[in-house]
Chains A and B, each alone.
Chain A
Amino acid sequence: MRKVTRKTTREQLAAMVVAKLGEHQMDAVLVGGSLVSIYTNNKYESSDLDFISPAAHTRIVAAMAELGFAARGKDFVHPHTDFTVEFPTGPLAIGDDVPVVPEHKMTVDGVEITMLSPTQAVMDRLMAFFEYNDRQCLDQALWIAEKHPVDVERVAAWAKRERKEEKLNIFLARLAR
């Protein structure tokens, strides 16, 4: 298997993590800011790779050690990369939608990575805007929508279920510009 080096890209590292977990019969879904990096060709650069996995943390620690990652708090760090890997507590959720079924797959170096679709990633980013007024995340949602087809009706229906129509309208107004 390929080793983690300074040249390992975010996508390659994600594939290595998924492959290694797979060797140990564990699944993981790629979520969070790294999706924005992937969907926007690095317009936003996240140095974290967040995976949601139902596997026990002790098993994850053992598998990640085989890749050379050491647990530091909740992060996994590696001496040869600035990327960190984290396994936030699941299940996969976007607001009150729990659990969420990831709708996208990306193949890197022959490894299939399960991840949120662009529409789901937009909803995930918008959730941070809705809840915390985080305008960085509003921008990120818009950047994803600029680069990929997004089911705006579905986003709107979800935002209404979350009772965030007012903020949805800010997103829609900027999307229309």
Chain B
Amino acid sequence: MYKALFGNDVAESCLLYIVNYGEGHINGIARTFAVSPRQAQLQLQRLEAGGILVSSFTGNMRIFRINSRLAIKAELTALMEKILTLLPEADTERYFRQRRRPRRTGKAL
């Protein structure tokens, strides 16, 4: 939507995803937006190198989050939240409404 601001679509998608869900990993983001893991990885690493994101390992998976020490964290988050509200409803439903709350193992979806 505002890819000019972020450099490209994938970078914007990565940031929207991470603000929306609080965190994200390469394969999850790539699957969600139907881009290659390599494309997602490049943008996540670029954002991390720029201090926008930080990452840590959970098991063998690298998880990216907004850098809590980022001076403009509140403003960036507010901007992304605003963009999330402007997305077409179909996009919101498709990309940003994945279930995140727990569901007991074995329980039908």
Contacts and interface: CB of A to CB of B under 8 A. Distances in A.
Contacts of A132: 100-102
B97 A133 contact: no
A133 B23 CA distance: 9
B85 A135 contact: no
A63 interface: no
B99 interface: yes
Nearest to B74: A166
A27 interface: no
Given A73-B106, A74-B104, A75-B107, A135 B81 contact: no
Interface in B1-56: 20-23
Contacts, number: 36
B48 to A, nearest CB: 20
Contacts of B108: 84
Contacts of B23: 133
Interface in B84-106: 85, 96-97, 99-102, 104, 106
Nearest to B102: A132
B97 A135 contact: yes
A107 interface: no
B97 A170 contact: no
Contact of A139 (B21, B77, B97, B107): B97
Nearest to A132: B100
Interface string A84-96: 1000000000000
Interface in A133-177: 133-137, 139, 166, 170, 173-174, 177
